[in-house]
Amino acid sequence: MFHHVPRLATLALFASIFLHAQDYRGQITGKVLDPSGAAVPGAQVKVINVATNSTASTTSDEHGSYTSLYLTPSTYRVTVEATGFKKLVRNGIDVRVGDSLQVDLTLEVGAAQETVNVTAEAALLETTSASTGQVIATRTIADLPLSDGNPFVLHRLAPGVIYNGDLKFSRPFDNGGTSSIVVDGAPGTNEFTLDGAPNMASGGRVAFVPPRDVVEEFKVETANFDAADGHTAGGNVNVALKSGTNSVHGTLYEFFRNDKLAANDFFLNRSGRPRDSLRYNLYGGTVGGPVWIPKIYDGRNKSFFFFGYEGIKDRFPEPGLFTVPTVAQRGGDLSGLLALGSAYQIYDPNSGVAEGSRVRRTPLAGNLIPKPVNAAAIHVEDNLISICSQQWVLVDVHERNDAFHTDFNHAVLVCQLVGIGAAVVRVRHLRRVRIIRGLGAEINGRITKTSRI
């Protein structure tokens, strides 16, 4: 039986809630000047989001300075109008996560009905902040291969970022593995934000990893000197989610793996076992656009929605190697352990004698255990030993899902000698276990087979 829980179902309206946190939005500042370089006060400045046509208006002050705040990551167009000057239109201004761009605008003398369009300009440098970092853009997230669709694995592309986790644990719900980065050698943890809101769990881990197609872009700040940043000595990973636009856009995807298309596991090859069942499906989709209710509401240029969904169905084998009693050891002869050192000397647990604050026990001669008298232990041993030998590989078929409150079907079966002649089974994270003679263990209603090396 497969477990399946959706990772994200998000309905996001294009409306901002102001939170006291690191802001993912950017800003554009600058001066409005005349041809001689003098300030032009009272100029009407409009900053227009090309995708949504939303407009932020401001006016230059007596020094010709203007500022437009709270700009979501997108491409913008800036227009300037002032009496006695031609209208100026500056196109193609890309505002990224947390950008603070300075755009000075020089007007030409002429009639207001005339327009000067500026389109070919060099890329803008962020000169108003001392902080440095790397922006991972939408195109990069879409084009590069991602482990289990986790976009945060790309934070390792930023200069100064070192990954110190386990590469196997970069799935969307592997919060610890996703967060295991060191930025510029800083000893502290790192800070993750989602649209400016804290996205942190306990232990300095990221709380939620959104699907790749929901992320607009994110910035890994490796040197933070802005007063808005704090709380950590490490880096900041500031994530901006996508929003709807005036056009309806969407995606559909599925990533598929199957044992018929994969090579066998190294340890299964070593034990002479064929490939076990492997089924992997990572699938989802997104859709976004203007809020539009026929004959009731037209949200173009003002109200937008964005919806994203992703699911994972994953079934895979995970072999493990365990050491269990030999035939001689099952009969109580542990003399072979003495060859490994005196630390393996076995003592009679019933011979304890108090000597002050310590207890002294009598060693068993030759590490030979007397015949066990515990009938319950003998019964368990008889049922268990039939499936055990010197070394076994237990191959449990793991079924994982992508919910944070996931219910892992994780089994650890260990044949172990405890005390005098008692064999037990240790099982973790299981609701029901039953030992089946000569076959294996029935775990949560499913037979878990074993194989000898």
Query: Does residue 5 belong to any structural domain of this protein?
Result: no
Total domains, the chain: 3
- Mapped onto helix, strand or coil, the DSSP state of residue 416 is strand
Query: What confidence score (pLDDT) does residue 319 get?
Result: 61
| Residue predicted with more confidence, 261 or 16 | 261
Tell how strand 87-95 and strand 115-118 pair up: parallel
Verify that 100 and 140 share a domain, yes or no.
Answer: no
Contact between 367 and 347 (Cβ < 8 Å): no
Q: Taking 50 as the threshold, does the pLDDT of residue 447 lie above it?
A: no
Query: What confidence score (pLDDT) does residue 213 get?
Result: 92
Query: What confidence score (pLDDT) does residue 44 get?
Result: 94
Query: What confidence score (pLDDT) does residue 59 get?
Result: 95
What would the pLDDT profile of 129-162 be if each residue is shown by its tens digit? 667 788 999 889 989 988 888 999 998 899 889 8
Query: Does residue 179 belong to any structural domain of this protein?
Result: yes
Verify that 139 and 231 share a domain, yes or no.
Answer: yes
Q: Which of 116, 163, 159, 155 is nearest to 136 (CA)?
A: 155
Verify that 100 and 151 share a domain, yes or no.
Answer: no
Verify that 110 and 136 share a domain, yes or no.
Answer: no
Query: Does residue 434 belong to any structural domain of this protein?
Result: yes
Q: Taking 50 as the threshold, does the pLDDT of residue 257 lie above it?
A: yes
Query: What confidence score (pLDDT) does residue 350 get?
Result: 84
Residue 68 is part of a domain; what is its CATH number? 2.60.40.1120
Query: Does residue 108 belong to any structural domain of this protein?
Result: yes
What would the pLDDT profile of 114-137 be if each residue is shown by its tens digit? 778 777 566 666 666 667 788 999
Last residue of a domain, one of 211, 241, 271: 241
Residue 217 is part of a domain; what is its CATH number? 2.170.130.10
Query: Does residue 278 belong to any structural domain of this protein?
Result: no
Verify that 46 and 112 share a domain, yes or no.
Answer: yes
Query: What confidence score (pLDDT) does residue 122 get?
Result: 60
Verify that 109 and 146 share a domain, yes or no.
Answer: no
Last residue of a domain, one of 201, 222, 241: 241
Share of the chain above pLDDT 90, in %: 27
Q: Which two tokens stand for residue 371?
A: 């015949």
Q: Greatest CA separation found in the chain?
A: 110
DSSP for 257-313?
Answer: EEGGGSPPPHHHHHTT--PPP-EEEEEEEEEEEE-EETTTEE-TTT-EEEEEEEEEE
Q: Taking 70 as the threshold, does the pLDDT of residue 435 lie above it?
A: no
Q: Taking 90 as the threshold, does the pLDDT of residue 29 lie above it?
A: yes
Host domain of residue 159: 131-241
- Find the Cα–Cα–Cα–Cα dihedral 388, 392, 346, 419, rounded to 10°: -50
Last residue of a domain, one of 241, 264, 285: 241
Verify that 73 and 137 share a domain, yes or no.
Answer: no
Query: Does residue 444 belong to any structural domain of this protein?
Result: yes
- Mapped onto helix, strand or coil, the DSSP state of residue 41 is coil
Alpha carbon distance 337, 72 (integer Å):
68
Query: What confidence score (pLDDT) does residue 48 get?
Result: 94
Contact between 285 and 33 (Cβ < 8 Å): no
Verify that 103 and 145 share a domain, yes or no.
Answer: no
Least reliable range by pLDDT among 47-61, 102-116, 244-258: 102-116
Match 């995606």 to its residue by tokens.
251
Query: Does residue 280 belong to any structural domain of this protein?
Result: no
What is the average per-residue pLDDT within 380-404? 46
Query: Does residue 164 belong to any structural domain of this protein?
Result: yes
